[in-house]
Amino acid sequence: MPPDSGAVAHHSFGPQIRRFVERVLSGVESHCYLADAVKTRAIRLAESRWHCDESSRALGGNDAGRAA
């Protein structure tokens, strides 16, 4: 399977989801700690917005009308 393929049939999504649900139902913390994933996503989103703002300013963008 080429690495740039969109095919996912070879991936173990089913077993991963089952293992995650089993952990949640049994009250055992998963190796995929959801709070860490949420925090990581928030950080990446903030970083992305910062880069967009910086790019806009570098191109002479105007912040007028933006909510503070």
- Distance (Å, rounded) from C-alpha 38 to C-alpha 36? 5
| pLDDT confidence of residue 26 | 95
- Taking every pair of Cα atoms in the chain, the longest distance, rounded to a whole number of angstroms, is 54
pLDDT in tens, the chain (68 residues): 666 777 777 777 888 888 888 988 999 887 777 788 899 999 999 988 887 877 777 777 655 545 54
| pLDDT confidence of residue 63 | 55
Q: How far is CA 68 from CA 7, 38, 46, 57, 60, in A?
A: 42, 23, 14, 16, 19
Q: Where are the domains of the chain?
A: 33-61
| pLDDT confidence of residue 43 | 92
